[in-house]
Amino acid sequence: MKFLIPVFIIFSFSFSVFGQERPRLGLTLSGGGAKGLAHLGILKAIDSSGLHIDYISGTSMGAVVGAMYAIGYNADTLLKISNKTDWDLLLSNSASLKNLSIDEKSEYDKYAIELPWENNGFRLPSGVLESEELWLRLSEYFFPVNALKNFSTFPRGFACMATDISSGEGVILDSGEIVQAIRASMTIPSVFTAVPFQGRKLVDGGIVNNFPVSVAKKEGADFVIGSNVAGSLLAKEKITNIFQVLLQVAFFREDKDAKEEKKMCDLYIQHHLDEYTMGSFGSVNEIIKEGCLVGDSIYPRLKKMSDSLNLIYGPDKRAYPKIPQMDSVKINAFEVHGLVKTNEVFFLHRIDMKPNTFYTAKEINNHIRKAFGTRYYKKIVYELHPLEDGSSKIIFDVEENPFTFAKSTISYNSFNGISLIGNITSRNFFTPYSRSLVSANIGENLRIRGEHLQYFGRFKTLTLSASIEASNIGFANYLNYVKDGTYKQSAVRADLNTHWTLNRNYAIGIGTSFQSYHYKPDIVSKFELRGYNNFLNTYAFVQFNTLSNAIYPKRGSTFNATVGYNYNQHHDIDFYHNGNLILNEDSLNGQFSDYWHVKADYQNFAPLSSKFTFITHLQMGISFHSKSIFYGDYFIGGLNASFPNQVLFAGLEEGTIRTNSAAMLQCGLRYRPYTNLYITARANMMALDFIKNSELTKSGSFLSGYAITLGYNFILGPLEISAMYCDQSKKLLPYINLGIPF
């Protein structure tokens, strides 16, 4: 390797002797998935040395990194971008929760299995990734060169490799839409969906040429620096799952061809990343650190090369490539391809972009997310085509979601027991611009819910919601923090409300519900009740949700508040004490009267670092009536919301205390030592009965409690094992939760 520098000097001098121009330097970056981020360390060394790269070729992740470098992003900027990137979101079919419309947030990411209805039947999911967020993020990064359709006109020339899925031939992509080109180059078969491009269907170029040094040579590079992060094929004992089998088969040819490509390198750089895989995006920092160490080790050679060139040809006076200046583009025309079940009017209304208006890349992406957040669409990508007047036409390429899905998951926690949760969701089933669903919780606590949402208005921001829910839930009775019998509560709630969605994250509305409750003891307690009561409830509400994701959110807030009035009470309830009927109900000092109630719930997740998140949770429930007989009470306890009128409290089991007024403040710190593994510590305090103590509730006026939770997020959702303690009960309690409760 050491002889390369003198050879290069002699080679370069020959150009000077014969009066030729400064030699063109090429750079080739291999594919390798997450390991491709090690290339950033090489770019940093190249930038520091003062070398000017003229042409870049790459495959897969090497194409992504190389293309960004080609249009003017320097190594330091690319490192910052990598550190801020949510790789889990980009490389998944998930959407950021904050991009979904408010009506979709509560149902999103709750189910382990989602089967689309296609070709007259529910089909298994394809298992491949479309990754809308990856498309949008790449569109944002490459927005400054959207008008450059020939990649040789970039500040640095560029080309990448892809594979024609129909013929198996390698395809050099050096013109067209740059985002589609690099997205095709990184499309690993059986992992990502194939990309239509220039009349072909393309997949990962690594199948035919993962290290395209020959492409750089073909384009006129006189001297090529090659950075290769790919290792050899896996040994048979390391092939342990179907994903590894598919990758091994897909890259048989690549391993052979790479040996020939290496011979064309004038300076070959091999990274040693065998402990990582293509999917090791949870180890991005470690991979980049290795790349920087390799970059540091070759920096002296690069610096000598730069100094030699300057000695022979004089200082390189070319300006260092910078990203072209283009903050916004004026859009004057729209074109939509791929619509079948929805029409162009609906789509453009959801996009909500206006002609003859300037838009930045972020603004275009945010408008696309408005439509994507409706869940009508699986993929929305765009191209910008310059018009003669200097403006542009935006062309949307759309793929619609199936309108009907069957969903299922398993849930367990210490309160609900084991449950099988099923759901069928269909759009436009009864009427256009609607969503209908039926959900069922089959287990120890039976619940079923049906809902129909109908959207109105030009932008479909006015919603009429009709729902009905029936449940049969078991509760424990508590006396001084000790279980004292159990009972079943059967409930029916029919609700009609209308709400206005201010944007994807906010909604306000009003509604009326009919609620009926029937109580029956299972195990006799000291105090019990039998019978039913029903009433009407008219209410107003506000919703707010900016969480980044539904499970273990990294940032964002939620706020839900309801103010309502319960009236038109009807009841037939008998009360018992030690098994004896209480004939004089007046002795209970309670009554079934009309009353106002307020419930509010606020949560905030603030990232302190990549590993730590600070959690704040405030919850309040108040029934403004002087005397409560059970039906208006709030139930205190639990770590997960499991039923109406519950106020969470770390330290007590669900329903340990009943009260007509409660306010809880909880603070927590969540630590993520490894990908998908979480440790959460919580401390909370609660004020009780600050409006008027219930005659039936013998609780104190203040509670304090704590919990520590070990959680792991996998396909069924979070698996959490917790230990709780309350200063007032003086009990250490276990709590287990799997998945998301109904």
pLDDT in tens, 707-725: 999 999 988 889 999 999 9
Residue 457: which residues within 8 A CB-CB, separation 6 or more? none
Residue 272: which residues within 8 A CB-CB, separation 6 or more? 290
Torsion angle, CA of 392/397/401/403, rounded to 10 degrees? 80
176 token code pair: 């067209």
Give the SS3 label for residue 183: helix
Query: How many degrees, rounded to 5, is the angle at CA 499 between CA 497 and CA 502?
Result: 170
d(CA 524, CA 273): 65
Q: Which of 505, 433, 429 is CA-nearest to residue 463?
A: 433
- Please give the model's pTM, rounded to 2 decimal places: 0.80
Strands, E assignment, 444-545? 446-456, 462-479, 482-503, 506-523, 527-545
**Helix orientation angle between 39-49 and 284-313, rounded to the nearest 10 degrees:** 30
In tens, the pLDDT along 123-164 reads 776 556 678 888 999 999 999 999 999 999 999 999 999 999
d(CA 219, CA 482): 80
What is the residue whose two structure tokens read 């000017």? 52
Going by pLDDT thresholds of 50, 70 and 90, the confidence category of residue 468 is: very high
pLDDT beyond 70 at 379: yes
Report phi then psi at 632, rounded to 5: -100, 5
What is the residue whose two structure tokens read 């930038």? 47
In tens, the pLDDT along 386-421 reads 999 989 999 999 999 999 999 999 999 888 899 999
Spatial strand order in the sheet of 646-647 = 646-647, 634-636, 657-659
> Residue 118: its pLDDT value, please?
85
The answer to whether the CB of 392 falls within 8 A of the CB of 332 is: yes
Does residue 93 or residue 648 have the better pLDDT?
648
Going by pLDDT thresholds of 50, 70 and 90, the confidence category of residue 2 is: very low
- Give the Cβ contact number of residue 599 at 10 Å: 22
The answer to whether the CB of 301 falls within 8 A of the CB of 309 is: no
pLDDT beyond 70 at 624: yes
How is 266-309 classified by DSSP, letter by letter? SEEEE---TTS-TT-GGGHHHHHHHHHHHHHHHHHHHHHHHHHH
> Residue 85: its pLDDT value, please?
87
d(CA 444, CA 447): 10
> Residue 274: its pLDDT value, please?
84
Q: For residue 447, how many C-alpha atoms fall within 13 Å in the half-sphere facing its CB?
A: 23
Query: Mean pLDDT score of the chain, rounded to an integer?
Result: 87
d(CA 96, CA 88): 10
| Bridge partners, residue 396, by sequence | 336, 382
Going by pLDDT thresholds of 50, 70 and 90, the confidence category of residue 694 is: very low
Of 2-11, 541-550, 565-574, least confident by mean pLDDT is 2-11
First to last CA, the chain: 63
308 token code pair: 């030699």
Give the SS3 label for residue 711: strand
Q: Which amino acid is at 434?
A: S
Report phi then psi at 305, rounded to 5: -60, -45
702 token code pair: 């203040």
> Residue 247: its pLDDT value, please?
54
The answer to whether the CB of 158 falls within 8 A of the CB of 29 is: no
d(CA 473, CA 493): 14
In tens, the pLDDT along 239-287 reads 555 555 555 555 555 555 677 888 899 999 999 888 888 888 888 999 9
Q: Among positive and negative, which fits the CA dihedral 146, 149, 154, 156?
A: positive
- Rounded mean pLDDT, 512-540: 86
**Helix orientation angle between 344-351 and 361-372, rounded to the nearest 10 degrees:** 130
